[in-house]
A and B are shown apart, each in its own frame.
Chain A
Amino acid sequence: MYNLPNILISTVFVFFCAFPVFAAGGKTLIPPTDFEAYDTPSDNGKGVSLRWPASPSESIDTEYVVFVSRNIDAPFVTEALRINSQTMYEDNSDFKYHYAEIDPENILRKSSAQNNQIRKKEKYYFKLAITSGSSIVETGKLASALPKSDWFDWKKLNNFVLMISFVALVLFFINHARKSPNLFIRKISGLDAIDEALGRATEMGKPALFVHGLNGMGSISTIAAVNILGKIAFRIAEYDTTLKVANIDPIVMSVSQEVVKESYMEAGRPDAYVEDNIFLAASEQFPYVAAVSGIMVREKPATNFFMGYFYAESLILAETGANTGAIQIAATDSYTQLPFFITTCDYTLIGEELYAASAYLSREPLLLGSLRAQDIGKGILIVALVVGTILTTLGVGFVSYLFMAG
């Protein structure tokens, strides 16, 4: 069923299409000589790619219009694409070809009355026209494509190969560590100082405060911080000191409660565990800062741990802590906040040392094995960077393509 406006539009379109070359204001519109449509590779089965050579009539006031239809015999009334003729050139085609990706089902659904109807996958037909002012000239060729879903995104192949290689490397060294457990790990003073800091808290009869940044449980920094929390809680339970954990995220709080509880149980002190000591201080950044700073000023913890990902609150927390005379140990992979922690804390773990802390404290061979894999991975990247820089400087650019994001 076609409504009146559609019939009018199609009549006008058919009328104009009857003339292959049309004079507009003294200018002749020459349509592109070719037009192709094909399933967009490596996509979710919705996209169709359109490609056509540039027309000699291209100018600032000339446009390309692509019409789409489900049926080869039906009138082509729905515009799938309308672009200025001097835009959307295909990459590396030297302005000789145009390229566009469209979602025909979405376009047709929006223009149709039954726009929520789910349809079976079908072929779409396309017509290309060049237009200027009121003149429109179509290419002779009709293009069609059936979009298909793909099971692999080939643009990400390099990424996939790198991932598999790194996974293999990590697993190899973990397995290797199982056989020869005495792996060397360099000294990290900030982690060695944990015992000293907790000893001080015990002597002074003051609590230790643990803060794990602003990120949620989905962040690797927070997971690393929670891993360290478990080790600290174990020592705290042994020393019989109070541990306070101020949270900003309720999920992190629940996980921290569980981790601390288990550590106390492992240390044989389940009675010393107080759930209220692992609490939600506030759920937003600066109210959280106010709450934690308040705890520091009122309760004067002997030791403050800042471990995780931090933002603008880092300096306020660490400076307040320094002013109360606490021993402060920070660990963060947030490099903009590192200068603030370095200036105000006694020890600061930089970047990946935060992730290594769990392995360092537990000396678990399997965890140490992954550190070796990290070092090898870093070595490979450094070599790739140096070689890539030299080759690119010499005009050989393939190394950049190997690492290009898909």
Chain B
Amino acid sequence: MNFLKRTIPLIIAFVMGVTMALQYYVPHEVSQSLLKVVSRWGITIGGFAVFLGAYSLFHLHLTKIKRKLPGWGYSTFVFLGAGITIVFGLYNGGEFFWQDKQEGTMFEWIYFNVQVPAGATMFSILAFFMASAAYRTFRARTNEATILLIAAIIVMLGRVPIGTMISQYLPIAADWIMSVPNMAAKRGILIGVSIGAIATSLKIIFGIERAYLGGGD
């Protein structure tokens, strides 16, 4: 069992990791064909994974409804929403799913009148949360915090048209803050992150980091 759950996956990770790392340096058509095949495997596996996700989602909510767990009423909306959308999707405006996709169907109506506004509503919450987070945390407690505070105010004003009306130098100052000191700090983090990512990849390829297979080290 350990051989199947540990050794085989580690061998696959090593062989595929080394092969695909070297593939980057080999332009030969054999190498390109290999890349194509592997990318198709990835797409195929990704396709099947959707079923795993759907199973998990429905199983979880079905259990909640069966056991009448707190908030089970919300779970009914999962089935209601998914059921209605799937039915209209398959119905395809009366032409059914085996025909080409029709236009102006009920499925499209649900998309534009339920999914689009619901998604936009969630995204818009961000503006409210940003305002409250900024109010709570932007305090000039130290010299560094004061510099950050001033920079934030310049960027906030310089990034909207009203900033230009206040002063024509505000957008220029905002651009400078974003592309010089901000970028310098980000590049520092980015270099560290990239080296860390390469080291982690190597640990995975060589089987040193195996916690992702489960069961600690």
Contact = CB atoms under 8 A, between A and B. Distances in A.
A293 to B, nearest CB: 9
Contacts of A287: 118-119, 122
Contact of A335 (B189, B197, B201, B212): B189
Contact of B212 (A149, A227, A294, A373): A227
A192 B25 CA distance: 41
A205 to B, nearest CB: 14
B57 interface: yes
A351 B74 CA distance: 37
A324 interface: no
The interface centre, meaning the residue of B59, B118, B125, B212 with most chain A CB atoms within 10 A of its CB, is: B212
Contacts of B42: 218
A276 B37 CA distance: 34
B19 interface: no
Interface stretch (A55-63, A87-95, A128-136, A247-255): A247-255
Contacts of A151: 26, 28
B211 interface: yes
A249 B53 CA distance: 7
Interface in A326-352: 333, 335, 338, 340, 343-344, 350-352
Given A279-B57, A356-B196, A358-B211, A286 B119 contact: yes
A84 interface: no
Contacts of A399: none
B190 A254 contact: no
A251 B45 contact: yes
A393 to B, nearest CB: 16
Contacts of B203: 170, 367, 370
Interface in B177-207: 186, 189-193, 195-204, 206
The interface centre, meaning the residue of B125, B198, B200 with most chain A CB atoms within 10 A of its CB, is: B200
B76 interface: no
A196 interface: no
A315 B133 contact: yes
Interface in A280-309: 280, 282-284, 286-287, 289-290, 294, 298
A266 B216 contact: yes
A262 B214 contact: yes
Interface in B9-53: 21, 24-32, 42, 45-46, 49-53
A351 B45 contact: no
B136 A230 contact: no
B209 A150 contact: no
B150 interface: no
Of all A-B residue pairs in the complex, the 3 with the closest CB atoms, nearest first, are: A262-B214, A250-B53, A352-B196
29 contacts: A44-B28, A45-B28, A167-B202, A171-B202, A220-B197, A220-B201, A223-B200, A223-B204, A224-B200, A226-B211, A247-B56, A250-B50, A250-B53, A260-B214, A262-B214, A262-B215, A263-B214, A266-B215, A276-B60, A280-B54, A294-B74, A333-B189, A333-B197, A343-B137, A354-B196, A355-B199, A370-B200, A370-B208, A374-B195
Interface of A: 42-46, 149-153, 156, 159-160, 163, 166-167, 170-171, 174, 218, 220-221, 223-224, 226-227, 230-231, 234, 247, 249-251, 253-255, 258-263, 265-266, 276, 279-280, 282-284, 286-287, 289-290, 294, 298, 312, 315-316, 319, 333, 335, 338, 340, 343-344, 350-352, 354-356, 358, 362, 364, 366-367, 370-371, 373-374, 377-378, 381
